[in-house]
Amino acid sequence: MFSFSGWAEENTLIPTVTVSDATTANFQLSLNEKATFRVIPTTGGAVLIKATQSVANVRLALYGDEYKTSEPLLTLDIPAAYRQPEYLLFDANDCVICYVEIDTSASSPTQGRSDILFSAIGTGLDARKNFYNAIQLASLTWSAAENQLAEMEYKEALHDVRSHYEKAENIATSLEDHSLIVFSAYMQSIVSHYLGEYDNQADLLKRILQQTSIPQSYLIKVNMDLASYYIYEEGEFDTAVAYLSIVFDHLNSGHYPLLYAEAKELEASIEIEIGSYLNAVAAFEETSKIFLEQGDVSNAIKSMTSLGWLFYHTGDFNNAMQQYVLAKKLATQISDNYAITNLHIKLSGVYRQLGNIEQANHHVTQALKLSGRFKHAYLDAWANVEKAKLLQATGQYIYSKDTFDIAKRRFFELNASKGASEIDFFVGLLNMQLGEHQQAKERIESYLFNTDGIATDYEHAIAASNLAHALTLLGNKDEAMKYQENALNVLMQTQDIRSIGLAQIQMATLHASMGNFENAETYFNKGTSKLIQTRSTLSQLDSTYAYANEIAQIKPVLALQIGRDISEQIDAIFSEIKRTDLRRGYFSTYQKVVSLLIRVDNSLSAEQSLLLAEAARSRTIGYGLYRDNSTNNDIQREQKKLNQKQQVKLIELSTQIETQQRKQTIREIRALSEALYQLESDNYVVPQSTAKFSAKSLAQLQQSLTEHDMVLFIDTAEVESRLWFIDQQQIVSFKSEHERFFSERVGAVLNVISQKLPLRKMRKEVAELRNTLFPSNAESLFKGKTNLIVIPDGALTRLPFSLLPASSPAQSGWSVSYQHSLKNIVDSRRDNYATAVDEGSILVVADPLMKTMPKDQSSPLGYGFQSSSLPYTAKEASYINEFSAQPITLLNKGKASKQALAELDLSTFNIVHMATHGLANNQVPELGGLVLSNDSSADNLLFASEIRRLRLKAQLVVLSGCETTQGHLIEGEGMLGLTRAFIEAGAHSVIGSLWQVQDDATAMLMKEFYRYLLQHELPISEALEKAKVAVKNHKRKNGTHPWRSPYYWAGFVLHGNAA
């Protein structure tokens, strides 16, 4: 039995509970705030404390005699959800006089209530004590695992937890105590759920129902859990409804408001799975109120989250955001990290759909941080899915694929087969964006097959609609029609207006491709009437563009209007995004729409169509060229720190062989790259004063050209490409082949060059490309022209145009240079974005000293990037010194370092010559760079991101390393590479190489180039072309011409001002 008395300690009255030697005894009380009890257990007996907490998370701490001055002997944090490690057992062996402190934990709402039951277990009841010992061990193991262990160790610990509950069940069975059997078996089912062993969970729950005596609260919980299993894992809604009916029968016989609300949510889940969203909305609105009234904030958060999800899937993004924000506010108040993480994922999806890419990126980044910190493996999988969708929306397709792969592995580890299968569907959509239509078809078909009987009709309808789109693009239009009709029939029974609208527009495109234009227009009008109620997303814009593209020939006026509407919508979204990498998803669509407008609008003159193409080009490409760099020292230090971390990871990557290890390192490199982009976005400014390129600007450009100049502007597109020839007198426009053709032909030319095949083979490939690219009257256009300025696009950015104009390469006397846009030509001639140094010195960085790692060491990190020596680059330095009348500053050997470069005022140099290795990075293009000396520091890679921040005013930068103009081709934006980085830094002209260059041929080319440039004072482009001819015609003493092949000389190209 229990007796009570007061105990005064430090002016505080602490209730004392004295336990007698009786067999059993108990008393119960309710707590709304912190309480402390002084407990004196009997010798040989034990005290059991059970906390039953419906809404509050409870913390129980057991102290010994030295209460207040000692650490607790035992602490249990007891969550209010299903998982209830709710027993605290102790006896006189633990403490003669014990203190029990009971409080709602920091993660509970302040209004939470706890019911505390004290029970005495008398002597001679060892089996019962062993039962509670096993329960307590399970609790402690689980609590320790959550606080300390990594993900895989956590799962191993959960197996130990389940073993303790199994032991407890065996003891309960020997005692024939049905209530204890039910409790221990139910806890095993909860552990199985957290392990992702859902079938095992269901088996345990069914076994509980076979017990002859089950407490009513557990009877309700078990049937609810089985209903949940059949909803989410099996998709058997009739079976789930049967279990729920049992639940409601029991709920009607007693007052269980919280369990009623949970059951109503399961009922609403079925409505969601079958697409009856309005019924589900009403249910979640009711349950969220019940939970808040009962003080169950945790479940109120879940209801609001579900309500937000429903609004999201009916296209009501503003209401969705409102629910998510409110739920996140409550979750933050009670420190519910799981809910906070989940809501960051949800908010990222809403912002992504609203076109607020930067906010979407912020939320998904927070979700990934939290899911990793708190080991929320399931949420980590979904956070990676959302991250992959965001990367897909911003055109970072390779990165997106890798991130989907991470998510899929997470789902497999959790045995979440449905989630893993959904990845096939998402990647299928990505394949479609990449033009990989057959792969898209196969992936979506795989998803439909693997989720048959698991996914809902609604989910399959979404997939089927996209499969129909893939089949349309593959030409299987009859089969596509069947899938699209079935999909629309299902979707029309739901309230998901966004999915209905997209499917109707896709149906319109399909009908248009089959010549059914009346039906097409009907479906398009229906679809747009749905989507006009939502904010435009990139997928909606792409679908709308596809329809406009399909009807362009038959209904050009309508296609034109649709194209203009898309352009305006992209304008609105584009202006909100500051981060460069997050803008990219819109570049491709924007350029495709502009190409469509040019193709459809026959009223456009050559000048008007050129201005339209230029507007798209200068907008997407010109961003970096007009950026103001920050001078904040703290920001610069942070940038340097991030670059150094990137270098360490790149070195690690260079030594790794195992695939998964490399993938992990690449992910870490990309994360650092994202951090740099965010830092740039937060602290760099894009001036708003850059004038639009107008008809007046075009006229000024023509006036600035000499009679020998020709500008060639190219816009490659999926249906037909367009070329504009611009000289002093005229602007002439021609149609040409589609972009896929040029990709294939350029690939063929570069293959011949790289393999150094016979010149006749090369000439044949070049002639085929030239004859297709240039119109038949090109010879008359080129007559008298000797200076060609090319603004290339697509695969043609990889082509050395000096091979094309004449019937045989490099014998026409042409000089060729490249620009990003017409605006860049005008601005470079006016010196708008940098003031060049007219009379300045020359900086030469050459022959960097490479300290190599001893063979007996295993880690290269302390040696930075190592590369082979470049003895010919020392010759380049001597040639420049020989021909220059200006003083030169030479950084060579150990002085050719980043540190020495940083100490110079680079704005004082008129020419900067960098003779060192170039490092390309196709995984993360921004991480390309120049390898400098590692003699004094392992920090020896000058990244492209660092180059952009150099303050140059040079007329010319020469990069004589390997592949220094190459980078990553982004559709609609152009090539990201070192050349572009130097132009963004302020250089007026940059010479670099398109492919790997042979050292001795390069040294001679540079010798001849500087002879013509510095001694003969020829323009840069003319000096370069004459140097190429000299290398090509070079004759050795034995009479051979070793460098006839374009491989040795054609790769060097000039970007920027050719004068």
DSSP 685: B
DSSP for 888-927, please give it.
EEEEEETTSSHHHHHTS-GGGEEEEEEES-EE--SSSGGG
Q: What is the pLDDT of residue 60?
A: 76
Containing 606, the helix (H) or strand (E) segment is helix 606-621
Q: What is the pLDDT of residue 368?
A: 92
Q: What is the pLDDT of residue 689?
A: 43
Average pLDDT in the chain: 81
How many domains are there within the chain?
5
Residues 595 and 641 in one domain: no
Cα(191)–Cα(201) distance, integer angstroms: 8
Q: What is the pLDDT of residue 847?
A: 84
Band of the pLDDT at 835, cuts 50, 70, 90? very low
Band of the pLDDT at 756, cuts 50, 70, 90? confident
The CATH code of the domain that includes 574 is: 1.20.58
Residues 559 and 660 in one domain: no
Q: Tell me the torsion sign for CA atoms 824, 825, 831, 834.
A: positive
1019 occurs within a structural domain: yes
Q: What is the pLDDT of residue 676?
A: 73
Cβ contacts of 866 within 8 Å, gap of 6 or more: 850, 851, 852, 853, 860, 934
**In this predicted structure, which of 94-98, 444-448, 874-878, 924-928 has the lowest mean pLDDT?**
924-928
Residue 499: is its pLDDT beyond 50? Answer: yes
Closest CA to 215 of 168, 180, 267: 180
Residues 10 and 100 in one domain: yes
Q: What is the pLDDT of residue 51?
A: 67
Band of the pLDDT at 963, cuts 50, 70, 90? low
> Structure tokens of 767?
């002639």
Q: What is the pLDDT of residue 1?
A: 39
Band of the pLDDT at 124, cuts 50, 70, 90? low
DSSP for 922-976, please give it.
SSSGGG-EEE---SS-S--EEEHHHHTTS----SEEEE-STTSS-EEEETTTEEE
Residues 455 and 561 in one domain: no
Residues 428 and 547 in one domain: no
Distances (CA, A) of 149 to 143, 183, 384, 412: 10, 26, 21, 20
Q: Which of 40-49, 175-184, 688-697, 767-776 has the highest mean pLDDT?
A: 175-184
Residues 923 and 1047 in one domain: yes
Q: What is the pLDDT of residue 698?
A: 94
Q: What is the pLDDT of residue 539?
A: 76
Q: What is the pLDDT of residue 269?
A: 85
Q: What is the pLDDT of residue 912?
A: 95
Residues 60, 61, 67, CA angle at the centre, nearest 5°? 145
740 occurs within a structural domain: no
- Region 881-903: mean pLDDT is 88
199 close to 163: Cβ distance less than 8 angstroms:
no
Q: What is the pLDDT of residue 911?
A: 94
DSSP for 721-755, please give it.
EEEEEE-SS-EEEEEE--HHHHHHHHHHHHHHHHT
- Region 806-827: mean pLDDT is 72
931 close to 847: Cβ distance less than 8 angstroms:
no
34 occurs within a structural domain: yes
Residue 374: is its pLDDT beyond 80? Answer: no
Chain position carrying tokens 């020596």: 869
- Region 775-796: mean pLDDT is 86
Band of the pLDDT at 79, cuts 50, 70, 90? low
Residues 992 and 1044 in one domain: yes
Distances (CA, A) of 238 to 74, 261, 423, 454: 46, 20, 27, 14
Which of residues 683, 713, 741 is at a domain's end?
683
Q: What is the pLDDT of residue 627?
A: 47
Cα(936)–Cα(851) distance, integer angstroms: 9
215 occurs within a structural domain: no
The CATH code of the domain that includes 498 is: 1.25.40.10
Residues 486 and 545 in one domain: no
Residues 838 and 950 in one domain: yes
β strands within 20-168, DSSP E: 24-31, 35-40, 46-52, 58-63, 74-78, 87-91, 98-104, 114-121
The CATH code of the domain that includes 58 is: 2.60.120.380
991 occurs within a structural domain: yes
> Structure tokens of 825?
């030509």
Q: What is the pLDDT of residue 284?
A: 92
Q: What is the pLDDT of residue 564?
A: 92
- Region 424-440: mean pLDDT is 87
- Region 110-115: mean pLDDT is 52
**In this predicted structure, which of 331-345, 485-499, 794-808 has the lowest mean pLDDT?**
794-808
Residues 930 and 1033 in one domain: yes
pTM equals 0.70
173 occurs within a structural domain: no
Residues 494 and 479 in one domain: yes
Band of the pLDDT at 82, cuts 50, 70, 90? very low
Q: At what angle do helices 178-194 and 151-175 cross, to 10 degrees?
A: 170
Residue 913: is its pLDDT beyond 90? Answer: yes
**Terminal Cα distance for the chain, rounded:** 102
Q: Which domain holds residue 492?
A: 416-529
Helix (H/G/I), strand (E/B), else coil: 793: coil
Which of residues 683, 712, 739 is at a domain's end?
683
Q: What is the pLDDT of residue 477?
A: 94
The CATH code of the domain that includes 900 is: 3.40.50.1460
Residues 910 and 1026 in one domain: yes
**In this predicted structure, which of 190-204, 260-274, 445-459, 803-817 has the lowest mean pLDDT?**
803-817
- One-letter amino acid for residue 935 of the chain: D
Edge to edge, the sheet with strand 114-121 lists: 24-31, 114-121, 46-52, 87-91
Q: What is the pLDDT of residue 925?
A: 58
Q: What is the pLDDT of residue 52?
A: 66
Which of residues 100, 124, 148 is at a domain's end?
124
Q: What is the pLDDT of residue 83?
A: 40
Cα(349)–Cα(393) distance, integer angstroms: 11
Instruction: Tell me how far the alpha carbon of residue 756 is from its chain's centroid.
Output: 40
Residue 682: is its pLDDT beyond 70? Answer: no
Band of the pLDDT at 804, cuts 50, 70, 90? confident
293 occurs within a structural domain: no
Q: What is the pLDDT of residue 253?
A: 67
Cα(801)–Cα(16) distance, integer angstroms: 94
738 occurs within a structural domain: no
